[in-house]
Amino acid sequence: MSKIIASAAIRGARRIFAQAEAKYREALEKYGPDQEIGFPNTAYYLPIIYSMTGTAVSKVKDMERVLDMCRRLIPPPVRESVPLPYLAPALDAGMATFFAEEMIEAVRYLEEPDRYAADSEEVTEGTMWLGAANDVIFRKRGVEFVDGTAPGFAAIAGAAPDAATAAKIALELQEKNLYVFMVGQNDGKRFAEQLVEAGVQIGWPTRLVPFGPDIQQAVFAIGFACRVAMAFGGVRPGDFRRNLIYNKDRTYAFVLALGDVTDEWYANAAGAINWGFPTIADTPIPQVLPTGICTYEHVVSNIAHDQIVQKAVEVRGLKVQVAKVPIPVSYGPAFEGERVRGEDIYLEMGGGRTTAVELTTSKNMEEVEDGRIEVIGPDVPDVEAGSRLHFAMVAEVAGRNFQEDFEPILERQNHHLINQAQGVMHIGQRDIAWIRISRQAVERGFTLKDIGRIIHAKYHQDFGAIFDKVQVKIYTDEAKVREVLDVARAAYAHRDARIEGMTDESTETFYSCILCQSFAPSHVCVISPERTGLCGAYNWLDCRAAYEINPEGPNQPIQKGAVIDERYGQFRGCNEYIRKASRQKVENVSLYSLMVDPMTTCGCCECIAAILPMCNAIMTVDRDFTDMTPCGMKFTSLAGSVGGGAQVPGFLGHSKYNITQKKFLSGDGGLLRIAWMPKRLKDEVYERLKKRGEELGYPDLPDMIADETVAKTEDEVLEYITQKGHPCLGMEDLL
């Protein structure tokens, strides 16, 4: 830390602390000490304070203690000559700055409840500032950090000189798959406002997140990182050191300081260094190049706007694999969430108004000419803006290593792959696909042929190891589309029957998934045909394909070996593997139980099941349900206790699909133990639930399972299921 930076950071910290103190006094006077306070819909209180100190600030009076800590952390100003060492005090001051800012923001939520668009992923009519991510948004986005689709984030303070430069920087960051968290202003301009001016879509879906108009909202970015460590890394609140080092090693975040760096900015930048997040500035401020707290340099300055993203990525030590796809628009996961609506739509296919169908199928080697892309029927240049077309895409794949089982795996990728093109929206799959192409994309020259190019390029990049050639045929002629639809539907039915028929007993090989170990180092998934991955993204076939594609990768075959316990699903091979892969953190794992050695979760699970002891039953809740559940915990608290690779009997993370798989909790009584789930989840899996209930002799099972419309507490669940005669009441004691 140069003396200039440290001096400024300490001055800034002192000023921000004074504001926090004043805000606290105001709040105390206006609302009283017992007024509840905090960020909306989160189990992590004020997350920086909570993660660093273990202090849960939930009432106004709780802030007094934190203010005391700040007083001890903030050092006296740096002496002009013969100064005492200032790096450490400045880092401490930076930490105190974040504590103070979190408290300022908490009071702000109280004073101006409409300042931020609470619980919204996108800009609303009332405000463009999104504020702290609630736990639903946090988990959804956090998963992308964990699985590697988002390697980190850029926290942008200030503004670019003009809207065009801002848009260019944002695009470059998006192309590197990074999230962009925007705060503060420079010379009255704000980066987020500049993006809106340039016509860029902002919000969580496009990874361009306008947190707030002032520098203080930097705490929403840092708080996000703190929560990642707690939710996925299993770091306990108060274990500040592990949290900080976790973030240094795993969350590839950095600060881009655009514009005049004020004392307050310096204070925030100093704070961020504690997390290993360096600052890259476009102004000629002093640099701090020696390494140690961050992976590489701490402050790098005077970087031109056309180099600043590249420089930042290098300083942070991040290797980004950027997909090269030969299409006229940008391409990457950051563009997945972008919407194409209303006047923006140039061409629409599917979505109920026309037919749209996608099929990936295997062919003989000689039938496929690699890279051949045909559009049969009208393409974009042949239609007017605002048109609709029918659509059928057949990807024909061939190769020595290609197996029929891989067809659906590739096909299922179409959604992501097409959706990642800038200005193209893709929803659904199979025969319910829905594609919109925007005017902007068309202006840049995007045609249907480019969809074929995406498929060709990305299939090769991501799955090159399992096939040799792929050609794509796109039909827009209605009669041809109908023909393809019939063929496709037959293929879907064939596949479904095959998957349904697979059992754990039918194979000796299960697969591991340690994709999430980048963030949850002790978590290991074991995936069998009847237990799909808890994130919902990987089934046994996916893992098998992933292993074929990359034999050194995160999915490894596990020879399940001798059966140790048939009921709970314990296998010698699985146990041996899990001990090694969890680095001795987990001893044994049951595939079919939440009571005995349940499988751990990284925190990415779609649902969490928990016991309801009074009911002798189990409930499950998905992560979109934010209310209280009958077990007395919200999803986010449940995730807090089981996430991060901890083995907690009585709780289990699982996917939605798994609920209706035959082995679901079979050691604990199976699906018939389920006494409660949220209404929306029940509706989503209704068909399969009903079918499975019938198989088990309870055709009314969906109705017997309580939801929040009939039971909010365990007592109410008991009353409901008793009235319905739910089978769990007659089952053996769970405990």
Which stretch in 37-45, 314-322, 348-356, 619-627 sits in contact with another protein by CB under 8 A?
314-322
What's the min distance (Å) between Cβ of 149 and another protein?
9
Q: Is 88 in the site for another protein (CB under 8 A)?
A: yes
Identified binder of another protein from the candidate list 38, 47, 89, 452, rule CB under 8 A: 89
Q: Is 74 in the site for another protein (CB under 8 A)?
A: no
Spatial neighbors of 458 by CB under 8 A, at least 6 apart, are 323, 325, 413, 417
Identified binder of another protein from the candidate list 18, 65, 68, 291, rule CB under 8 A: 291
Which amino acid type is present at position 436? R
Please give the backbone phi and psi of residue 392, each rounded to the nearest 5 degrees, phi first: -140, 130
Bridge partners (DSSP) listed for residue 64: none
Reading the block at residue 487, the tokens are: 């063929």
Which stretch in 80-88, 207-215, 613-621, 629-637 sits in contact with another protein by CB under 8 A?
80-88
Q: Is 274 in the site for another protein (CB under 8 A)?
A: yes
Identified binder of another protein from the candidate list 6, 196, 481, 701, rule CB under 8 A: 6
Q: Is 669 in the site for another protein (CB under 8 A)?
A: no
Q: Are 566 and 593 spatial neighbours (Cβ–Cβ below 8 Å)?
A: no
Identified binder of another protein from the candidate list 14, 23, 298, 469, rule CB under 8 A: 298
Q: Is 47 in the site for another protein (CB under 8 A)?
A: no
- For helices 63-73 and 87-111, what crossing angle results, to 10°? 160
Taking residues 499 to 538 in sequence order and writing x for each that binds another protein by CB under 8 A, - otherwise, the string is ---------------xx-xxx-x-----------------
Q: Is 672 in the site for another protein (CB under 8 A)?
A: no
Identified binder of another protein from the candidate list 292, 342, 697, 730, rule CB under 8 A: 292
CA distance 271 to 482: 60
Q: Is 95 in the site for another protein (CB under 8 A)?
A: yes
Q: Is 324 in the site for another protein (CB under 8 A)?
A: no
Count CA atoms within 13 Å of residue 517 on its CB side. Answer: 17
Q: Is 210 in the site for another protein (CB under 8 A)?
A: no
Of 45 and 86, CB closest to another protein: 86
Q: Is 255 helix (H, G, I), strand (E, B) or coil?
A: strand
Which amino acid type is present at position 333? P
Reading the block at residue 161, the tokens are: 């000189």
Q: Are 514 and 525 spatial neighbours (Cβ–Cβ below 8 Å)?
A: yes
Of 47 and 667, CB closest to another protein: 47
Q: Which residue has the tokens 């559009």?
A: 375
Q: Is 1 in the site for another protein (CB under 8 A)?
A: yes
Identified binder of another protein from the candidate list 8, 46, 52, 457, rule CB under 8 A: 52
Return the closest-CA partner of residue 307 out of 438, 172, 442, 128: 172
Surface-to-core class of residue 392, CB atoms within 10 Å of its CB (0-12 exposed, 13-18 middle, 19+ buried): buried
What's the min distance (Å) between Cβ of 250 and another protein?
5
Identified binder of another protein from the candidate list 40, 161, 205, 317, rule CB under 8 A: 317
Give how far Cα 27 sits from Cα of 108, 117, 280, 640, Å: 10, 22, 36, 30
Q: Is 176 in the site for another protein (CB under 8 A)?
A: no
Which stretch in 220-228, 284-292, 468-476, 500-508 sits in contact with another protein by CB under 8 A?
284-292
Q: Which residue has the tokens 């707290």?
A: 293
Q: Is 583 in the site for another protein (CB under 8 A)?
A: yes
Q: Is 261 in the site for another protein (CB under 8 A)?
A: no
Identified binder of another protein from the candidate list 60, 244, 418, 646, rule CB under 8 A: 244
Full strand arrangement of the beta sheet holding 557-559: 525-527, 509-513, 557-559
Q: Which residue has the tokens 């629409």?
A: 348
CA distance 402 to 421: 27
Binding site for another protein (CB under 8 A): 1-3, 6, 52, 73, 78-79, 81-92, 95, 148, 151, 240-241, 244-245, 249-250, 252, 274, 288-293, 295-296, 298, 313-314, 317-321, 514-515, 517-519, 521, 553-554, 583
